[in-house]
Structure 1
C-alpha cells in the first residue's frame, strides 16, 4: 500500500517508521510512505560531525539509518518503503539495487538519465548532458567528476524489515546542501530536476516514484 503523507515532521515520521517495524509480524502488509519534510539535516549511524560544515540554524538530527549526513527539505520526494525482505525473497544488496532502479526509471520518464557510482549509494546525473545515454566508462581519479547527485539513499534493516529509504530532489532550495559534505563527500554537487531543466511538481514525481516502488517491491 502506498500512503501519501504530504509535509510531515521528520523526527515524528522516523519514530512512526520504527514503531511500525518493531510491531509488525509476518502477516503485516508492506507499506510505502511518500512525504516531504521541513528543512532538516540527518546524520546516519556512521555520520561524522565534521561533515556538517555550517548548518545555519537548520536542525541536525541523529538517525539509525546507514550512511552519512544529508539534507531534507520542501520540494524533495522522500520515499520510505516498509518492506519485509524475507517475504519478498531478496537480500539487502538486491533491495538497494531495486530502490536505485526505481529512481532511474522515474528519471527516465522525464527524459533524464540516472547513473550509479560504485560504492556511493544514490543516483547521479551528468551535469553537462543530463539526458545523454552514454555510459560512464574508464578509470577516473574523481568518481564524481561531472556529476550532480539527485537522489540520496539511506536504509535501516531490522529482522529482515526495512525502513528509512530514498530522497529524490524535485524543485528545492539547494543552498542548504552547501552547509554539508553531502553523504560525506566534500565538494559533491547536489542538483534537482528543476536545475537540470525539468519542469514538474511534487505530486507528479511522488506518484511516479511510488508506482515504481510498489511494482518492484511486491512479492
Structure 2
C-alpha cells in the first residue's frame, strides 16, 4: 500500500472473498466519514460470483454453475465478478469533493475510459446503457461495469474491467439488465491481457479523475 495525492492506493494479490471485501469497504467508509482514515482506491480480484444491486430482477439470474450470489447494496442489477477481471473499489469523501453524485459517476466512467485508451482500447459511454463499451453497431460490447453506492457522501463499490475473465460465466445473468449486447475483454479483443499494465494506466489517469471531481483531498481529523 502507498499514498497517491493523499489517497491510499491498495492492490491485493490473490482472490479476495466478496464478504470480506464488503465488510472492509463498510469499515473504511465509516472511518473516512469520521476523519480517522484516508480515502482509498482498492484494486483486487474475486472468485467467480454474482452480485445483486438494488434493482436486481430475479428473472435475470440463471446461474447454471451455481456461483455464489451476494446482495451488494450498490445501485444497478446483476453483475459478474471473477478471476481475470480487475475490480476497483473507491472510498472517497464527496463531502470534500463537490457533493455531486452524477459528477462522480461521470468522472469514474471517464477514468476507466482513459485507462483503457492508454492500453489501445477505444472505449466509450453509451446513452441509455450503463457501463463502459467498445466497438460499434452489432459489434458493440461491454468491457467495464460501473456500480456505486454513496452513504452520507462517502462512496463505496466502483468499477470492474474485463481483462481476461471466462466470458462464458456472464451467461449466468443478464449483465446489468442489458440483453441486447454482449460482453468482451482485452483478451477477446486480441490485446495483451496484463493486469499490471491496467493498474499502471489507472494510476497514471488518477489525477485527472480527481480533478474532475473539483476539490482537493480532505485532511484527516486530528487524533
How far is 1:158 from its partner?
A: 0.5
Matches within 5 A, 1:23-34: 23-25=31-33, 27=35, 28-34=37-43
Select which of 170, 176, 195 maps to 2:188: 195
Residue 32 of structure 1 contacts residue 214 of structure 1 at CA under 8 Å; is this kept in 2?
Answer: no
Match of 1:9 in 2: 17
CA offset digits 1:142-162 (Å, max 9, x no partner): xx7431000001001001000
> Over aligned residue pairs, what C-alpha RMSD do you find?
1.7
Q: Aligned equivalents of 2:85 and 2:42: distance in 1?
A: 14
Select which of 69, 75, 88 maps to 2:78: 69
Q: Aligned equivalents of 1:55 and 1:153: distance in 2?
A: 24
Normalised to the residue count of structure 2, the TM-score between the two structures is 0.85
Gaps of 5+ in 2: 1-7, 217-223
Matches within 5 A, 1:70-85: 70-85=79-94
Q: Aligned equivalents of 2:189 and 2:158: distance in 1?
A: 23
Matches within 5 A, 1:100-139: 100-126=109-135
Gaps of 5+ in 1: 128-143
Match of 2:220 in 1: none
Residue 10 of structure 2 contacts residue 42 of structure 2 at CA under 8 Å; is this kept in 1?
Answer: yes
Q: Aligned equivalents of 2:44 and 2:204: distance in 1?
A: 14
How far is 1:55 from its partner?
A: 3.8
Asked if 1:41 corresponds to 2:50, the answer is: yes
**Partner-residue secondary structure (3-state), 1:154:** strand
Normalised to the residue count of structure 1, the TM-score between the two structures is 0.87
Q: CA distance change for structure 1 residues 212 and 48 in 2, over 3 Å: closer, same or farther?
A: same
Match of 1:137 in 2: none
Residue 55 of structure 1 contacts residue 180 of structure 1 at CA under 8 Å; is this kept in 2?
Answer: no
**Partner-residue secondary structure (3-state), 1:24:** helix
Residue 55 of structure 1 contacts residue 176 of structure 1 at CA under 8 Å; is this kept in 2?
Answer: no
Residue 69 of structure 1 contacts residue 184 of structure 1 at CA under 8 Å; is this kept in 2?
Answer: yes
Residue 174 of structure 1 contacts residue 190 of structure 1 at CA under 8 Å; is this kept in 2?
Answer: yes
**Partner-residue secondary structure (3-state), 1:33:** strand
How far is 1:24 from its partner?
A: 2.8
How far is 1:196 from its partner?
A: 0.7
